[in-house]
Amino acid sequence: MAEDGLVGGSLAGLCLARLQHFAREKGWRGFGLVGPGVLIAVGYVDPGNWATDLSGGARYGFELLSVVLLANLVAAMAQALCVRLGIVTGKGLAEVCRESFSRPVVMLLWFLTEIAMVATDLAELVGSAVALKLLFGIGLLPGVLIVSAGTFVVLSLGLSDRKLSGLVALLMLVVAVSFTVLLVLARPHWLEVVAGLLPTPTLIVDPSMLLIAIGIVGATVMPHNLYLHSGLLAVVGRRLEAGSQRSTEVKKAAIRAGALDSSLSLTIAFFMNAAILIAAGAVFHANGLHEVSSLSSAYRLLDPVLGSGIAATLFAVALLAAGQSSTITGTLAGQMITEGFLRIRLSPLIRRLITRGAALGPAILYFSLAGEDNSAHLLIASQVVLSLQLPFALVPLVHFTASRRLMGDLAVGRRTALCCWAMALLLVGLNVLLIGDMVA
């Protein structure tokens, strides 16, 4: 695998530029590796999050805010493991899986990961199409085709490292500003919001709440982000090995810098996700509107309930920005997955064409059969699929980072490993509960 081949020289170049600054300083200055974390955080505020957080807030008020917090803590721990794996081994999670497991296991993991990629892209595609419909009155069927064409145009421009990162950061800023304004307009009761950070026992006994909760986890801790983040930091790890910065202390410093970068970015993502759920609880649940069934219905209700003519427009603009920024990072993750598992290097356009083609089929079929008023069901279903796929990426990640044979002295400690295994088992347990409720 080439030094910068994972992402076609795009984000890898940005990471390497940050690394060179870090190496020149010969120490940790806290922000030497800032950049990858922002791109990872994009996946935590995609349209799938919107559907699950919106549904949870409208139906249960602020009760599921504790699940948003838990999911973000799990995400922060998982992404820190990705940083460690990439820097220490100089390889992404997909590549380590290929080298460590038998071919049948590798092919199974690759297949499941591709399913997760399609589910992720489906949410981004549908969410962006819904935003076009809300803003311009374009139907969802032509909307998904327009969104796809727009994505291909952006990728074909061959934007430089900084321009690509700048575009993603700008789209994220649009989302943040929009929901800050919506929260100001919604005026939630902040004491009730704080109380929502405490777990509710109702979660275990209410199948509907459990379904939404697992959807929130699936929308937050996304399998493709584990492959993307470890792959980006693997570039840093390989350069450390190739240069003069091979010492354990330097790698520890790089791990701290990368973990700080991702933690800060995920903290911002938490506040964005929390803002969606809080806004839904304050605007809809507090006014007796518990069954806000879709993003479209939320859009239609925002202005009348809040008494502001700008609220709905801000909602739609932020939704479009979230969908497009997530699509860019999803394409990069897809490249790493294909190359890591199969040793097949694809251009961004080809990779996007494969994933988007696989997502377009179910979207077009669903809207043709079920109509365009039930998009929320499709979005939530895609996030549940992601949650079901997550253990197949998370368990290998925990296994590898706890292995002294692979990681040497930089393997995670026993207590940390136990926490990580508890986290993975918790997710598996929630998935078992979900499957049991679906079968019953």
- Dist. CA 396–CA 91, nearest whole Å: 14
* Of 194, 130, 184, 115, nearest in space to 362 by CA: 115
Give tens-digit pLDDT for 39-90.
Answer: 777 777 777 677 778 888 888 888 889 988 988 888 888 889 999 999 999 8
- Dist. CA 91–CA 352, nearest whole Å: 23
Q: Name the pLDDT band for 108 (thresholds 50, 70, 90).
A: very high
Q: In this predicted structure, what is the pLDDT of residue 306?
A: 66
> What are the Cα distances from residue 73, in Å, to 68, 222, 350?
9, 13, 34
Average pLDDT over residues 180-191: 83
Q: For the chain, what is the largest distance between any 2 Cα atoms, rounded to a whole number of angstroms?
A: 63
Q: Name the pLDDT band for 436 (thresholds 50, 70, 90).
A: low
Computed from CA positions of residues 182, 187, 191, 195, in that sequence, does the dihedral angle turn out positive or negative? negative
Give tens-digit pLDDT for 237-264.
Answer: 887 777 655 677 778 888 888 888 888 8
Q: In this predicted structure, what is the pLDDT of residue 82?
A: 92
pTM above 0.85, yes or no: no
Q: Which residue has the higher pLDDT, 207 or 437?
A: 207
> What are the Cα distances from residue 88, in Å, to 82, 215, 235, 253, 431?
10, 32, 11, 11, 31
> What are the Cα distances from residue 108, in Å, to 47, 122, 182, 342, 383?
27, 21, 43, 12, 20
Query: What is the domain partition of the chain in residue ranges?
Result: 11-410
**Most confident option among 158-162, 318-322, 376-380, 428-432:** 318-322
Q: Name the pLDDT band for 431 (thresholds 50, 70, 90).
A: low
User: Could you give the dihedral angle defined by the CA atoms of residues 39, 44, 50 and 54, in that order, rounded to the nearest 10 degrees?
Assistant: -150
Q: Which CATH number fits domain 11-410: 2.40.30.20, 1.20.1260.10, 3.30.470.20, 1.20.1740.10?
A: 1.20.1740.10
Is the backbone of residue 141 left (phi > 0), alpha (psi -120 to 50) or beta? alpha
Residue 240 exposed, middle or buried by CB count within 10 Å (0-12, 13-18, 19+):
buried
Identify the three-state secondary structure at position 246. coil
Helical packing angle, 375-401 and 223-242, nearest 10°: 40
* Of 266, 211, 228, nearest in space to 385 by CA: 211
Q: What is the mean pLDDT of the chain?
A: 76
